Amino acid sequence: MPTQPAVNCRRCPRLQKFRIESGERYPGYHAAPVPAFGDEAPRWLIVGLAPGMHGANRTGRPFTGDHAGILLYATLHELGVSSERESIHRDDGLALSGVRISNAVKCVPPANKPLPAEIRSCNAYLQAELRELSTIRVMVALGRIAHDATLDALQLPRSHYRFGHAAEHALPDGRWLIDSYHCSRYNTQTRRLTAQMFTKVLARAKTLAE
C-alpha cells in the first residue's frame, strides 16, 4: 500500500467529484489529493483533518495558504523546526526538520466535513505512513477526527484513549499520541485555542520526540 494516494484517486466518489469541480471552478488550483510534507525521517508527525478549499487544495501542501497554517507554521518556526515562519506555497523553499505534516483525509471535502466512510477509506494511507516512517516517536492529532484516525491507523481501540486538548497517551509500542484542538480560524478566533496553548502542546511533542 502506498503512503500517498494517486493524483487521480477514486476511492471516495464524492470527494473525487468535489475536488475535480474545485479545479474547474478555480483554474490553477492543485485540486488533487494533498501529500504529506516535511522531513523524510521525522521524529514526530502532525496529523490534521483535511485540505482546505483555498488552502492546501489550492497550494498542494498541508496547512499552506489558509488561516489554520498561520499559527501552525509560526509555532513550528518558533520551536526551531521550520525554516520559515509562514508557508505561502509549495515552492516557497520552506523546509521542516524532524517533523512531518499529514492529514486524516487527503482530499478537500465539501464544507470541510468528510463523511465517516471517507475517513475510513483514506485511513489506509495514514496507516501506511505510520508503518513506513519507523522513525516517528510522537504523533500530534489536531482535533478529534485526526485523533480517531490515528488510533484507527495504529489499530488501537478508541475507547482506551480519550481525546482532550493537551492529553498525552502512552501507546503500547512505546510511542506517544498527543492531542490538541485544531488550529482552525474558528478555534483561534473564539480563543478555544490560544497561541500559548498550541505552543505548549507542540513543544511537549518535540521534547518527547527528541
E strand or H helix at 118: helix 116-132
Grid cell listed for 42: 521525522
**Helix %, strand %, coil % of the chain (to 5):** 40, 15, 50
Pick out the chain residues at pLDDT < 70: none
Read off the pLDDT of residues 2-19 as tens digits, 9 standing for 90 and up.
Answer: 889 999 999 999 999 999
E strand or H helix at 142: strand 138-142
Amino acid (one-letter) located at 94: L
> Domain-by-domain residue ranges, the chain?
13-209
Question: What pLDDT, on a 0 to 100 scale, did the predictor assign at position 1?
Answer: 72
| Candidate CATH numbers 3.40.470.10, 3.40.50.10330, 3.80.30.20, 3.40.50.300; the one for domain 13-209 | 3.40.470.10
Adjacency order of strands within the sheet including 168-170:
37-38, 99-103, 44-48, 138-142, 176-180, 168-170
Helix (H, G, I), strand (E, B) or coil at 208: helix
Output the pTM of the full model. 0.96
